[in-house]
Amino acid sequence: MTKARGGEGKHGRRPDAGRRVRSSAPVRRAASAITAPDDGDLTAYWKFHKAVARAQLTAWLPRGPCLLVDVSGPRAPAAELAAAAGHTVLRVVDRAANLSSVAPGARIIPLLGDPSQLSFLGDGCADGVLAEDRALSAWLAAEAMIAEIARVLRPGGRVLACVDSLVLGMAVLADQHHWAHLVDLPHADVVLVPWPDGTITRCYGPDQARELFGGAGLTVEWIRPRTVFSQSMVTHLLRHDPASLGRLVRAELAASSDESLGAQLVIAARKPR
């Protein structure tokens, strides 16, 4: 469950998906909020989490008009934010249902295809690639996906990715009483964790993320948690002062932290020139 060699499988659907996994409320809420569809009823913390993700993406976007390939998960606002900043975005989705959710515009070109196999795109065609919303966690064969990302990037091109962290994966495994797998984690090449919703996610620590990107010839520029502020602190502040959301987001972006903390990791990398 926690150790595998190479990429096993495509989507994160577990063979015994019909069986419910017992999970206590805090861990279940954290995992479910990350994976569940956005129903418009986000708690104060997850509104903050979403605002931070948008701010981090906006700060990463290149200056000047570029061609970006977006292989993010279905909930990421990456294509819309990039298009609003003046970039042309090829939004790749793997299901027709997801394709219909993409709002095409003058700068967003929806493409129905396999985000992990970008054979319909030429070598070095993209200035940047967006792999937000857990793309490299939901697609378990991440080695193939990151190799394709590296192939379509031009020399000097950049990629921004968001993955589920080893910290969250360990919390889920502990909550499910998989103690043997927790002991084995330091020696695991690939960490696959059964999620409360019946899927499997691939979780990364900083070392595993660097190994994945480096194996595709990409240089990691930085890794940081999506958020470092605790849910209790954010919830308390926003309940007492909802107008403080903007200040909290700015403080989050300015905060320094251990790169291994947080439920999700954000990774920025570049293809050498």
Single-letter amino acid code for the residue at 258: D
- The pLDDT of residue 264 is 92
Mean pLDDT for 248-266 is: 84
Between 215 and 102, residue with greater pLDDT: 215
Other CB atoms within 10 A of residue 268 CB: 17
20 pLDDT higher than 50:
no
Q: Report the distance separating Cα 268 and Cα 123, nearest Å.
A: 20
- The pLDDT of residue 182 is 79
- The pLDDT of residue 19 is 34
Q: Report the distance separating Cα 163 and Cα 192, nearest Å.
A: 12
User: Euclidean distance between the first and final Cα of the chain, in Å?
Assistant: 38
Per-residue pLDDT of 110-169, as tens digits, reads 999 998 899 999 999 999 999 999 999 999 889 999 999 999 999 999 999 999 998 888
Q: Are 193 and 1 in contact (CB under 8 A)?
A: yes
In this prediction the pTM is: 0.83
Q: Is 15 left (phi over 0), alpha (psi -120 to 50) or beta?
A: alpha
23 pLDDT higher than 70:
no
- The pLDDT of residue 6 is 37
CA of residue 56 relative to chain centroid, distance: 12
Q: How confident is the model at residue 102 (pLDDT cuts 50, 70, 90)?
A: low
107 pLDDT higher than 70:
yes
92 pLDDT higher than 70:
yes
Between 268 and 173, residue with greater pLDDT: 268
- The pLDDT of residue 129 is 98
35 pLDDT higher than 70:
no
Q: Report the distance separating Cα 26 and Cα 229, nearest Å.
A: 16
Single-letter amino acid code for the residue at 68: L
Q: Which residue shows structure tokens 């090449």?
A: 189
Q: Report the distance separating Cα 108 and Cα 99, nearest Å.
A: 12
41 pLDDT higher than 50:
no
Mean pLDDT for 233-238 is: 90
CATH number of 25-270: 3.40.50.150
Q: Which two tokens stand for residue 118?
A: 């970008």
Q: Are 268 and 218 in contact (CB under 8 A)?
A: no
Q: Are 117 and 56 in contact (CB under 8 A)?
A: no
Q: How confident is the model at residue 72 (pLDDT cuts 50, 70, 90)?
A: very high
Q: Which two tokens stand for residue 55?
A: 């701010």
- The pLDDT of residue 224 is 93
- The pLDDT of residue 4 is 42
State what percent of residues in the chain have pLDDT above 70.
79
Q: Which of these, 144, 13, 161, lies nearest to 73 by C-alpha position?
A: 161
- The pLDDT of residue 184 is 75
Between 105 and 160, residue with greater pLDDT: 160
Mean pLDDT for 197-223 is: 94
- The pLDDT of residue 101 is 58
3-class secondary-structure state, position 28: helix
Mean of all residue pLDDT scores within the chain: 83
* Number of alpha carbons in the 13 Å side-chain half-sphere of residue 63: 0
User: What ranges in the chain are assigned the alpha helix state H?
Assistant: 25-35, 44-60, 78-84, 96-101, 135-138, 142-152, 166-175, 179-184, 206-215, 231-240, 245-254
